[in-house]
A = this chain, B = another copy of it.
Amino acid sequence: MMEIAERPSKKECAKTIMAIHDVMDILSGKWKVSIIACLCFQKRRYTDLLREINGISGKVLSRELKDLEVNQLITRTVKDTQPITVEYEITEYGATLKEVTNVIADWGLEHRRRIIGGN
């Protein structure tokens, strides 16, 4: 008669918060989720990303890409074209974040409708 499973147990809450903290460590910063979403659509080169992700700077982009590569969410491949191009591609593991990016994007679209009004 001590623990009749309180609503959401304290343990469950703590576990959830810990899990979220883990994720936010990997996806920290303003840009990583956008980069991953972009690469989930298709692989891209450095300059493509620079153009598609509006507002990111070259320096930040290359650092974020390194971080994501270290965490095995994307791969970096140098093609011996002329001039050399570099392709960034989502890994199979990175692609498991697709649902995360989708849910975030969906909420963002609703939010925009709510805040900015129609359209």
Q: Which residues of A contact B (CB under 8 A)?
A: 7-8, 12-26, 28, 30-31, 33-34, 37-38, 41-42, 52-55, 93, 96-97, 99-101, 103-112, 114
B53 and A41: CB pair below 8 A? no
The answer to whether B21 touches A30, judged by C-beta atoms less than 8 angstroms apart, is yes
- 5 A-B pairs closest in CB distance: A19-B108, A23-B108, A19-B105, A22-B108, A16-B105
Tell me if A's interface is mostly helix, strand, loop or mixed.
Answer: helix
CB neighbours of A93 from chain B (8 A): 114
How far is the CB of A55 from the nearest CB of chain B, in Å?
Answer: 7
Q: Copies per complex?
A: 2
Q: For A41, list chain B residues within 8 Å (CB).
A: 7-8, 12-13, 16
A18-B54, A19-B109, A103-B99 are known contacts. Are A33 and B24 too (CB-CB below 8 A)? yes
* Contacts A52-B14, A100-B107, A103-B99 given; does A34 touch B21 at CB 8 Å: yes
